[in-house]
Chains A and B, each alone.
Chain A
């Protein structure tokens, strides 16, 4: 059973960079599939942030593209999210997930709540 686990600070100051890591277990991220980040503001729906594709490319939500970087560390079987210049509007639960090509997100992490506040 593929497992994903997010980690990172739960509190980030405005204008700083939000950094999260997703550790994948029971599956090698270099074996295939794509890997993505999705967030959910309190009481709101799901917002895709971006994907890292198995070919090595990345794709980001146009609304966040200027502030987001997703990278992969295959040696640690992890992938990471960096979102800079955060504001209170970036406060949300952040989920990492495995993504099938042009398809569903079939495995999700439990999520981590990030609050942007001074």
Chain B
């Protein structure tokens, strides 16, 4: 079974770039999706199928997936980006989704 490992927390100053990783052996062979969850709110999909950005999500959000690491990149971080971020993939063998443990992004 898959275990998606994310750092528990990252901190970044406004305007800087931050990267949130999601690690699992050979995750690059899978499609990874990313969600943003602000306090008291439901998760919102910000990236799907590795690099696609839904309409309404700022271009500041981008992602990549290769080898053992999928990465969500946020450029020009804003205070409003402060949230928990979760990665997710589909485990074909067990036919169910797998979520990462989540990363809390703090904007200093």
Contacts and interface: CB of A to CB of B under 8 A. Distances in A.
Specify whether A and B are partners. yes
A103 B99 contact: no
- Most A CB atoms within 10 A — which of B31, B43, B100, B101? B43
B59 interface: no
A40 to B, nearest CB: 8
**Interface size bracket, B side:** 20 to 34
Contact of A46 (B31, B43, B49, B90): B43
Interface string B16-57: 000000000000000101010000011111001100001000
Contact of A48 (B33, B45, B99): B99
Interface string A44-55: 011110010000
Contact of A103 (B41, B48, B94): B48
Contact of A104 (B45, B94, B96, B100): B45
B48 A106 contact: yes
A102 B54 contact: no
A61 interface: yes
A111 B39 CA distance: 12
Contacts of A62: 94
B86 A46 contact: yes
Contacts of A51: 96
Chain A binding surface SS class? loop
A111 B42 contact: yes
B102 A104 contact: no
B88 to A, nearest CB: 7
A108 interface: yes
Contacts of A102: 31, 90, 92
A79 interface: no
Given A95-B42, A95-B43, 14 more contacts: A45-B86, A45-B99, A45-B101, A51-B96, A102-B92, A103-B49, A104-B33, A104-B45, A104-B88, A105-B33, A109-B42, A110-B42, A111-B41, A111-B42
Interface of B: 31, 33, 35, 41-45, 48-49, 54, 86, 88, 90, 92, 94-97, 99-102
